[in-house]
Structure 1
Amino acid sequence: SPEDVPEDIKTNKRYSASSNWTVQEVVESVKQDFGSIDILVHSLANGPEVVSKPLLETSRKGYLAAISASSYSFVSLLKHFVPIMNPG
């Protein structure tokens, strides 16, 4: 829910003009604009370490943080988008 978005993100100048903070809000916007979708694309998340260091210098902790974020975001996207996905 929007209440779950950390205050430092909501007030960060990079995001302050943004809305639709949650996956559910994005789904509602997509549904309003398109009705349904045929495909859903998900990309791997990057942790701060993965972005700032060469791949081969990534620590196990940094790798696991990125994989954890990616796995959770993928499941969350599926949970919310499957209801508006076309069969097949």
Structure 2
Amino acid sequence: MKVLPQDSSQAMQRVRVGMTGLASVLVLIALANAVFSSASRAPTEAVGASKAATVANLADTALANSAMTSEPLAELGVAPSTATADGHK
């Protein structure tokens, strides 16, 4: 393998390009770390509490609706209802 002599300016340019690439990768990693650390410090209790209350309200509504009707297939539209026009079976 034949080694060609290099200019010192070419070698310095390659070093500069390599260092610039390394610095840009480090900046991107630092930026991603800042974003993820700020996201992990977000208050989770308030968000979780509101979701739990919403789920509880939805569950209560679903239980109340299912207690009123005993025809889940008719509610979904899969089977015809057996109820008469006045609401009785």
TM-score, structure 1 as length reference? 0.30
- Compare relative contact order (CA 8 Å, sep 6+) and give the higher one, 1 or 2: 1
TM-score, structure 2 as length reference? 0.30
Bigger Cα Rg: 2
